[in-house]
Structure 1
Amino acid sequence: MTFIKNSYPVVVVLALALGGAAEAAPRRVVVANGDCKDAELSSQTKALYDTLVARPGENVLTAADFTERLFPQPSGSFEDIQRQLEAAQGQFYEARYAKAAQAIDEVLRQVARLPVGAARWKLYVDAQLLQALNYRSMGKVKESDDAFRDVLRLDAQYKLDPDYYTPSTRQAFDKLRRELVKGRKVKLSVKSTLPASEVFLDGRSVGQTPLTLEVPTGTYELTVKKGDTVSFPRQLPVQGEETPVLVDLAYEGSISANPFPCLASNAEGEQGLSHAIRMGGTLGVEEVIVVKLERASSGPKWLAATVLNVEGGQKLREGGFKTQGLDAPAASLSALVDFITTGKAQPSVVVAQADIQPPWEKSSESAASAPVATEVTAKSGTVRPLRVASYVTLGAGVAALAGVGVLRIAIGQDSKALEEGGHLTASGNVKANDPAGREILSGMAQKVRLHNGLLIGSCAALATGAVMFFLSPAEAPPPVSVGVVAGPDGAGASLSGTF
């Protein structure tokens, strides 16, 4: 890419060309929101998901990937994994140590995916002890000791059965026990948002929250559980003087993968959406599409979808349509998918508007908000709505214009940084092996896109506000304050007043 020194207009053109390049569809995930045991909700959400993934170029997280990332499942049942361990034991007795080591490693990977509890812990111990014996037979004493330690670090009282282990093996095991007992420990404290939750390390129960215990340094599999509510499994490095952990079990336990990815939440509005955004961050996606099915006491049902941006933490779009029966019309589903992916609404889709409650929200909320709206209208007195709207629009235009000026300065600073920072070749090109220079140019492109968007928006707002002002009756303006927030990464405006 060519960069011409001392030519700001060319910089802008090149940055715009860079920003206007075709971008891939954002990585998305589709989840149901409501009663996760509701078969109709799962079915309707799955239908929207199928309609979305059928479109070319879409990048949507599959249900299988969702399960693998949040709720990894073993390849077979507990009995299947136990038989795999028995087969590995047979290979050990046949002196096929390399084969046995591979088989035991796979067993341990599958054991970590089993439900926590005494049965899993026993299978884990049996696998680690067999691994320790197998490594010793291969002459790998250090690896053998590590396998023994993985048992002793959570059960220092464990003893080897003299009928199955040689005296030398038992002596080595007891020596490791004494070293662990005398060795340095780390204070591990675990708390949960649900009180008296059970804490499991490597599948073994170690107490209830709030829990504090001392354990040897290392990495543990941590799971927190209360009743049927289970946290995400996580690898927990325990090191230093203290390792504090807070598990939001109320949030993590509200997510399920079957029969379709779902977020069960009694929380309404922003709190429910914040849970969906957190989940998107955990999954590593860019957008979360939340699907709701609202049933009124009488009349049609509403199938609604909300698009959330994970990085910015804001709602991008929200729309829905009326539906009858168990299956949503294919044409309506296609129209809704068009809207949530492109923002273009068709007549069959009702688009949610700011400060106006959409029809798919619960009627109880609508009834509760009605008196408030009446009271505000009564207090507004003689203020003309059109004149108020003109002040708001003009104020927003002025704020956006101020942001344009700040961004123009920031773009100029980036241009200067490229020239003076040694990021350019003699011919004016950004050096191919200069990631810092390319990062500056990429940031400049983002600022230019925002700059032009604010410039167009401010002009439109000022023109619209002026027309509204001249069409409205003259009267004293209400107090309005405009605030501008701008920086190298963007600009924004805040508007407040009493109308």
Structure 2
Amino acid sequence: MTFSSRFNPVAVVLALALGGMTQAAPRRAVLASGDCKDAALSSQTKALHDTLSARAGENVLTPADFAERLFPPPSGSLADIQRQFEAARGQFYEARYTRATQALGEVLEQVVRLPVGETRWKLFVDTWLLQGMTLRALGRMKESDDAFLNVLRLDAQYQLDPDDYTPSTRQLFDKLRRELARTRKVRLSVTSTLLSSEVFLDGRSVGQTPLTLEVPPGTYALTLKKADAVSFPRQLSVQGEETLVQVDLAYEGAVSATPFPCLATPEEGEQGLSHAVRLGGTLGVEEVIVVRLEGASSGPKWLAATVLNVEGAQKLREGGFKTRGLDAPVESLSALVDFITTGKEQPSVVVAQPNLQPPWEAPLPSAVSATRPEPSGPSATRVVSYVTLGVGVAALAAAGGVRLSAEQEWAELQRGHLNENGRVEADDDTGRRLVGQLSRKGQVLTGLLIGSGAALATGAVLFLVSPSPRAPPAVSVDVTAGPGGAGASLSGTF
């Protein structure tokens, strides 16, 4: 046998690279699903995440990366950021302008990560005003003007305190205010899947959805909030004639990063899995592992994990085991991670089969009743029909809100802005503005009516084709006993 000493280094490198690719684990995210305030759910989901992350070669998104991508937190507390601001103000009064402007830039990077509201807005205003004066001291006039305008563009009536600002600074501020009033504005329209959601720009509340307002062109930090539901913070570029934004707050508000990445979902239904796939696309991962804790409020529960492929929106594997308390059995947890990553089945893990309902999805055993049986719950199709009908009703209600807001503008237009032919004169700026606003609201109203009609029609069809809940069959048992023996008869309708 003859061996050749010649080899192709390119082929060797390519073979090694391909070998590494076949061994590389997909990028995964572990996500709790259910009651995000449940300490047991958070604890056991974290345990599964840590067990998976400890495996060699695994590529798992960390909770810190999850929070940074969706809800970037500030590096310190509010008190820490305020101390940084005070230090920068001290540097300004000491005429260390270059260091002050750098420090203020660092403060602003943290301010935009604070929760929206008055506290954040006040610190935002104070920082930009001080930055404007610092840049002016450095001779950077255009940047100084832009810093002041970051305050005026959302609060045109803001007044500088005479005790803190020189007359020349106040005169400049008033001049910028007048120039801003003459600047062309952009119509910004914001809608949400949750009605009457509060809209925040740069941390300041500017109204509730559906919202239409005019703002100067530029980039704004947009956040929506309703009760505990908060949208993903986003940088919004407002340009052109009009900018339309629709936020799915029902979905984004269900996501939380603390105490562990979680997606709040109802107790029943597949909506949580579809939202998990959508969230996986936002995070840029290939697979999402959804962890649930199912069972009665007391006693042992099932810890179930579902592996979802993000690109194909497919359920790859599902398994679980019984657990109790905050800590899952180490051996069972390790076996579940083996199943998640390789598909290898072990006795301690119950694997969901395509044609069988897994035990963690089985209904709780009901008490035996001699009077009447409990009816079964609605089918999945009927639940979807309820949700679709609810969306249609919500859109119809939003259309009513838009129509009511348009009535005031129509009444104002009729008061002295229409000629005998029912038209607006070319030199009537106010009348033309009202016509434009009515036209835009008419478009929004048309869209909402069409959308609500489609949703109501779809929901009605789903409701009609879904099976009605049926009570379990009535069964009676007769037992007889006598000297010759005993007997029993079973009768019922099936």
User: Quick check: TM above 0.5?
Assistant: yes
Once the 2 structures are TM-superposed, how far is the Cα of residue 270 of structure 1 from its aligned partner? Answer: 2.7
Q: How many residues align?
A: 358
Amino acid at match of 2:66: F
Instruction: Write the mapping of 1:413-424 to structure 2, written as runs, cut at 5 A.
Output: none
Once the 2 structures are TM-superposed, how far is the Cα of residue 103 of structure 1 from its aligned partner? Answer: 0.6
Aligned in 2, Cα 1:167/1:99: closer, same or farther, shift over 3 Å?
A: same
Instruction: Write the mapping of 1:99-248 to structure 2, written as runs, cut at 5 A.
Output: 99-248=99-248
Instruction: Write the mapping of 1:259-270 to structure 2, written as runs, cut at 5 A.
Output: 259-266=259-266, 268-270=268-270
Match of 1:301?
A: 301
Amino acid at match of 2:222: L
Amino acid at match of 2:276: A
- Measure the CA separation in 2 of the matches of 1:290 and 1:371: 24
Aligned in 2, Cα 1:63/1:18: closer, same or farther, shift over 3 Å?
A: closer
Secondary structure at 1:99 match in 2: helix
Match of 1:328?
A: 328
On the 8 A contact 2:299/2:324 being kept in 1, the answer is no
- Measure the CA separation in 2 of the matches of 1:225 and 1:319: 36
Once the 2 structures are TM-superposed, how far is the Cα of residue 275 of structure 1 from its aligned partner? Answer: 0.8
Instruction: Write the mapping of 1:13-412 to structure 2, written as runs, cut at 5 A.
Output: 21-266=21-266, 268-296=268-296, 300-363=300-363
On the 8 A contact 2:30/2:288 being kept in 1, the answer is yes
Aligned in 2, Cα 1:84/1:60: closer, same or farther, shift over 3 Å?
A: same
Aligned in 2, Cα 1:244/1:355: closer, same or farther, shift over 3 Å?
A: farther
Amino acid at match of 2:219: T
Once the 2 structures are TM-superposed, how far is the Cα of residue 23 of structure 1 from its aligned partner? Answer: 4.3
Amino acid at match of 1:158: Y
Match of 1:422?
A: none
Amino acid at match of 1:356: L
On the 8 A contact 2:39/2:326 being kept in 1, the answer is no
Once the 2 structures are TM-superposed, how far is the Cα of residue 138 of structure 1 from its aligned partner? Answer: 0.5
On the 8 A contact 2:188/2:213 being kept in 1, the answer is yes
Aligned in 2, Cα 1:19/1:213: closer, same or farther, shift over 3 Å?
A: farther
Once the 2 structures are TM-superposed, how far is the Cα of residue 326 of structure 1 from its aligned partner? Answer: 3.7
Amino acid at match of 1:308: L
Aligned in 2, Cα 1:227/1:81: closer, same or farther, shift over 3 Å?
A: same
Aligned in 2, Cα 1:176/1:267: closer, same or farther, shift over 3 Å?
A: farther
Aligned in 2, Cα 1:267/1:310: closer, same or farther, shift over 3 Å?
A: farther
On the 8 A contact 1:352/1:358 being kept in 2, the answer is yes
On the 8 A contact 2:188/2:243 being kept in 1, the answer is yes
Once the 2 structures are TM-superposed, how far is the Cα of residue 287 of structure 1 from its aligned partner? Answer: 1.0
Match of 2:464?
A: none
- Measure the CA separation in 1 of the matches of 2:150 and 2:377: 62
- Measure the CA separation in 2 of the matches of 1:92 and 1:36: 45
- Measure the CA separation in 2 of the matches of 1:214 and 1:151: 15
Amino acid at match of 1:188: L
Amino acid at match of 1:348: S
Amino acid at match of 2:310: V
On the 8 A contact 2:154/2:215 being kept in 1, the answer is yes
- Measure the CA separation in 1 of the matches of 2:173 and 2:325: 66
Once the 2 structures are TM-superposed, how far is the Cα of residue 370 of structure 1 from its aligned partner? Answer: 11
Note the alpha carbon deviations across 1:386-405, whole angstroms, 9 max, x for none. Answer: xxxxxxxxxxxxxxxxxxxx
On the 8 A contact 1:296/1:363 being kept in 2, the answer is no
Amino acid at match of 2:251: Y
- Measure the CA separation in 2 of the matches of 1:156 and 1:298: 57
Amino acid at match of 2:39: A
Match of 2:400?
A: none
Of 70-79 and 303-312, the range deviating more from structure 2: 70-79
Once the 2 structures are TM-superposed, how far is the Cα of residue 362 of structure 1 from its aligned partner? Answer: 4.3
Once the 2 structures are TM-superposed, how far is the Cα of residue 92 of structure 1 from its aligned partner? Answer: 0.7
- Measure the CA separation in 1 of the matches of 2:375 and 2:98: 70
Match of 1:4?
A: none
On the 8 A contact 1:223/1:230 being kept in 2, the answer is yes
Note the alpha carbon deviations across 1:25-51, whole angstroms, 9 max, x for none. Answer: 111111111111111111111111111
Secondary structure at 2:361 match in 1: coil
Of 116-125 and 356-365, the range deviating more from structure 2: 356-365
Aligned in 2, Cα 1:118/1:324: closer, same or farther, shift over 3 Å?
A: closer
Note the alpha carbon deviations across 1:226-263, whole angstroms, 9 max, x for none. Answer: 12221111111111211111111111111112221111
On the 8 A contact 2:231/2:249 being kept in 1, the answer is yes
On the 8 A contact 2:291/2:305 being kept in 1, the answer is yes
Note the alpha carbon deviations across 1:64-102, whole angstroms, 9 max, x for none. Answer: 111222222222222221221111011011111111011
Match of 1:404?
A: none
Note the alpha carbon deviations across 1:207-239, whole angstroms, 9 max, x for none. Answer: 011110011111101111112221111111111
Once the 2 structures are TM-superposed, how far is the Cα of residue 127 of structure 1 from its aligned partner? Answer: 0.3
- Measure the CA separation in 2 of the matches of 1:298 and 1:130: 57
- Measure the CA separation in 2 of the matches of 1:324 and 1:143: 60
Aligned in 2, Cα 1:21/1:325: closer, same or farther, shift over 3 Å?
A: closer
Secondary structure at 1:316 match in 2: strand
Amino acid at match of 2:79: E
On the 8 A contact 1:294/1:362 being kept in 2, the answer is no
- Measure the CA separation in 2 of the matches of 1:327 and 1:20: 35
Once the 2 structures are TM-superposed, how far is the Cα of residue 21 of structure 1 from its aligned partner? Answer: 4.6
**TM-score, structure 1 length as denominator?**
0.68
- Measure the CA separation in 1 of the matches of 2:20 and 2:129: 59
